Chain A
């Protein structure tokens, strides 16, 4: 048992020695390490700058709201509020879809505005080449480096005739495979180390959430190990190292460059989404069918009127102790918001269906699984953005209805004068939007678990494959 362990570590040590002596391999690895560190530092700087800008805008917008003069509350409903989405701490590591979603929403009455001014809409085409972030380097470049380091692990020795020699000297194929595996586990750790140290440091400093950071570290380690084990497996199977390289580079091309671009095409072709305009028209149409508050004959609003009069025990709206127009406004807002919610839910569901279609292929391309996992953990995935939009919509409704209520109670129902206004002090009593950062483990727990599971299954399957290939190696040389 002990000798077996010694043999395995001897094989690993030899492989490491060969790698260290390979100048190209060393230069490539150091370059990648430098890239990881630079992109992490750039990412932190960029994230903090973006966050500070958004916070500054939020503060200015909130101050401007509070500083508005005496007005009719309904004027403030349309003056509205601006909300800026704060960035999560781990966005420095993986900004996810943040560049593609708008990050500011204008909130006003009777309307649900979109999130505007995304980076993608304001950038030249360069953005579409990818952003230089630790996530990009680890997801896209690191696998290629691993492939280049590991493709010849066994195939080269076979080519040079060393393999037969080694096996003839009593080294078991299993020990050989295990040794190489051990060697490349070390390589994976070394490649990932700079990025993972940054993550660990951020978590320890209390800057990034610890559990998601830890899961992020594990996810990337499993992902990179998948590539290392896959390289070893191919190297065990094919006869020439050149063929191993071709197979592995092709796999990288297909899984990392091609699949993520082809699948979305499929998803949008299969699941069409209505445009904003169609949704707006549909909402408007449905509202019309519910009722028209301006029409005295309208059945819905005459019933609402009868109910209100009964509640206050009066005969005519002029006798109401509260402002009638305000009550109608509140009821209208309730109706529109109900529709907005329904349409938003439908849109989210459709988007989720599209994403599900793509994510299902995470089973075929580990990149899709790790990308999803990483975005979920960094709180920069689609669902986090939707969570933000939902919070924003809840806030919009509360703030508009609070203003409407001021109109109901503070504006006289009769003889209000030509230009009724209420004191500006009221604006300060309205809460400004504070984003409740979701706990990603609660928000995305299922997806995190599923994606981790996919990655672990990949690794396990490849390891089993290596075991089988090693056995075949033994049979072939016996």
Chain B
């Protein structure tokens, strides 16, 4: 135990090591605080929007909730609010929540023309990415590990203590293990203590928090192993530092940017535009074709309304909404294709995790925090389900021509936020584990041979 304490004292006597560790602790705490502030802000915005929505709904009810009220115009003027509150772990990995809308209003009209509305966002502020735990872990923690580890061996040699150190019978071999493990644990502590506090504050689920902590531990182990490996090669401190910085640039800046360029090129997604253009044609064409044609397509899915009286005049609300549903129906293959492509982009990013630890850790964190592209697709899916509920609610009024009165407004379906789609994906975790094990294993072997080679110097 005393030896450990001595090592600790030694470590903190070096200004660079102590400074790097304290800085990491400080930045992690800051990032957790910033993440918590950001999720609190999102929740506050949701509350504000809910208030605005209540006001709007009240005025619509006043205007259209008359004894002879018409369900068609009620449905036309009533917006329904959907929200996607942040998951309790979102503070750690804000992901795409700054660019994807988490509040969206829909009406009974065609969903595909409403689903892709974007929120007012400041692109310039979103450009650099969020300052959250995921950022500190992915980019900054490796740098601290590099600062702590790069001169582990060379520092001793440059101070002239190396031969002495390896020739000591008792501590010769254990000293590197002890020093390495100590540094690793301190870095992990600086990362995980603030994360744990944040998780406790936001009452995050234990498994998710544990998964993030495990991912952090494995990612840290990868960098630790890499740094130890380079340190054990026995070059000068400066050369080690430069080599590790080069690894950092390639693994966290260059390779992901390059991979993104490749992925976005091989899986283009202009289909989003295609499907809105196609949906518009479908809806507007319906004004120029016989109404029976629209109803024929509509009754395939809704045989229950087949026997209602036919629409004779120029306009009837039930025809209007039928035409919107048929419009959505008509682009369903495009929609499926669009979603498939978006998912494919995500799948390839996850696969990248087998070779790129930074991609693996990002995938893992954001999946566990339910703040990635898949989470947004899940939100869109839940809006779609809600929209179906809206149709089921309004159609009896429209097709049975029942009046829509004040009391009916109170029966309006309410959107319930979707259950979290968070998961703990196995493959990036396994990828991280394999990468960390490979590199650490090589590092440990490197250190073992080091003692004998250093003794020969």
Contacts and interface: CB of A to CB of B under 8 A. Distances in A.
A277 B118 contact: no
* Residue in B49, B130, B242, B261 whose Cβ sees the most chain A Cβ within 10 Å: B261
Interface string B223-250: 0000000000000011101100110010
A276 interface: yes
A245 B143 CA distance: 13
Nearest to B359: A126
Interface string B45-78: 1001100110110010000000000000000000
B122 A273 contact: yes
Contacts of A438: none
A438 B372 CA distance: 36
B238 A268 contact: no
Interface stretch (B203-211, B279-287, B390-398, B447-455): B279-287
A160 B381 CA distance: 67
B346 A124 contact: yes
B231 to A, nearest CB: 15
B349 interface: yes
Interface in A87-130: 96-97, 100-102, 104, 106, 113-130
A58 to B, nearest CB: 11
A107 B41 CA distance: 31
Interface residues of B, number: 93
Interface residues of A, number: 90
B327 interface: no
Nearest to A56: B270
A126 B255 CA distance: 10
B119 A124 contact: no
A410 interface: no
B277 interface: yes
B291 interface: no
B238 A102 contact: no
A264 B352 CA distance: 29
A43 to B, nearest CB: 10
B56 A281 contact: yes
A434 interface: no
A138 to B, nearest CB: 13
Contacts of B122: 264, 267-268, 273, 351, 354-355, 382
A79 B117 CA distance: 17
A276 B117 contact: yes
14 contacts: A24-B239, A46-B265, A102-B118, A125-B95, A126-B256, A127-B260, A246-B16, A249-B245, A257-B140, A264-B126, A265-B37, A276-B117, A278-B52, A281-B52
Interface of A: 24, 28, 35, 42, 46, 53, 57, 60-61, 64, 68-69, 71, 75, 78-80, 82, 96-97, 100-102, 104, 106, 113-132, 136, 140-141, 144, 148, 241-242, 245-246, 249, 253, 257-258, 260-262, 264-265, 267-269, 272-282, 284-285, 288, 347, 351, 354-355, 358, 381-382, 385, 418-419
Interface of B: 16, 27, 30, 34, 37-38, 41, 45, 48-49, 52-53, 55-56, 59, 81, 95-96, 99-101, 103-105, 113, 116-131, 135, 139-140, 143, 147, 237-239, 241-242, 245-246, 249, 252-254, 256-261, 263-265, 269-270, 272-273, 276-277, 280-281, 284, 287-288, 313-314, 342, 345-346, 348-349, 352, 358-359, 362-363, 366, 372-373, 376
